[in-house]
């Protein structure tokens, strides 16, 4: 569930909307995305040596990885682009997709040599989900584990946050300088539970 929540937050930034957890498009995306994450990691030979995908058959799962990546890029990428454009209005906050498309159009109008393209946008969307959702969800799980094991730290964080924000609002980025203990705990969680290869 943590992964779905994080993915939904990333959707709000990229697409400009959050999905109901039982939305068929969102559920299908989560299933395909989870399959790609669990089947292939950074240590997969196909990721390390991409040329393996040219070996006939499904050598080391290269074909499976390619199909999964294409499904996410084309199938979901195109749907997310369509939704972002459909929801775009003058008073709506810009999304990653609408900002990218505006910049691509500006570069095209000015005749600039650019790598901005629809294919690159699809790749960027896929990478943002892979890098953002899985690592953030894993970090949050580790944070919860640490807080369960160290309730005194959790209480000290709570007291600090409560003293800064009071009972009526959540912390925001402007509060960061006033929350040194909380920031230190979060950084220490990321250090101890290093979730990416060194």
What pLDDT, in 10s, does the model give residues 175-184?
A: 999 999 999 9
CB distance 123 to 73 below 8 Å: yes
106 shares its domain with 189: no
193 shares its domain with 166: yes
Residue 138 lies in a domain: no
58 shares its domain with 32: yes
30 shares its domain with 128: yes
pLDDT band at 1; cut points 50, 70, 90: low
Q: What is the pLDDT of residue 56?
A: 82
Q: What is the pLDDT of residue 48?
A: 73
pLDDT band at 132; cut points 50, 70, 90: confident
Q: What is the pTM of this model?
A: 0.68
User: Residue 7 CB: number of other CB atoms within 10 A?
Assistant: 22
> Could you tell me if residue 113 is left (phi over 0), alpha (psi between -120 and 50 degrees) or otherwise beta?
beta
The number of distinct structural domains making up the chain is 2
Question: Which domain covers residue 30, as residue numbers?
Answer: 2-133
Q: What is the separation of C-alpha 49 from the centre of its chain, rounded to a whole number of angstroms? A: 24
Taking CB atoms within 8 Å and a gap of at least 24, the contacts of 100-108 are 100/124
Mean pLDDT to the nearest integer, 155-170: 95
Q: What residue has token string 């697409």? A: 15
């Amino acid at each position: 569930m943590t992964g779905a929540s994080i993915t939904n937050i990333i959707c709000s930034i990229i697409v400009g909307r959050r999905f109901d957890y039982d939305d068929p498009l969102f559920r299908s995306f989560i299933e395909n995305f989870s399959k790609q994450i669990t089947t292939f990691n950074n240590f997969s030979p196909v990721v390390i040596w991409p040329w393996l995908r040219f070996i006939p058959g499904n050598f080391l799962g290269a074909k499976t990885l390619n199909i999964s990546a294409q499904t996410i890029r084309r199938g979901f990428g195109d749907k997310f682009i369509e939704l972002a454009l459909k929801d775009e209005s003058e008073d709506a906050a810009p999304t990653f997709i609408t900002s990218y498309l505006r910049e691509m159009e500006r570069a095209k109008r000015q005749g600039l040599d650019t790598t901005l393209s629809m294919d690159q946008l699809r790749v960027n969307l896929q990478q943002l989900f892979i890098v953002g959702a899985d690592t953030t969800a894993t970090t949050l799980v580790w944070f919860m584990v640490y807080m369960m094991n160290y309730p005194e730290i959790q209480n000290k964080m709570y007291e600090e946050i409560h003293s800064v924000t009071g009972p009526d609002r959540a912390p925001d980025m402007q509060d960061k300088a006033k929350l040194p203990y909380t920031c230190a705990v979060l950084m220490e969680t990321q250090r101890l539970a290093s979730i990416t290869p060194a």
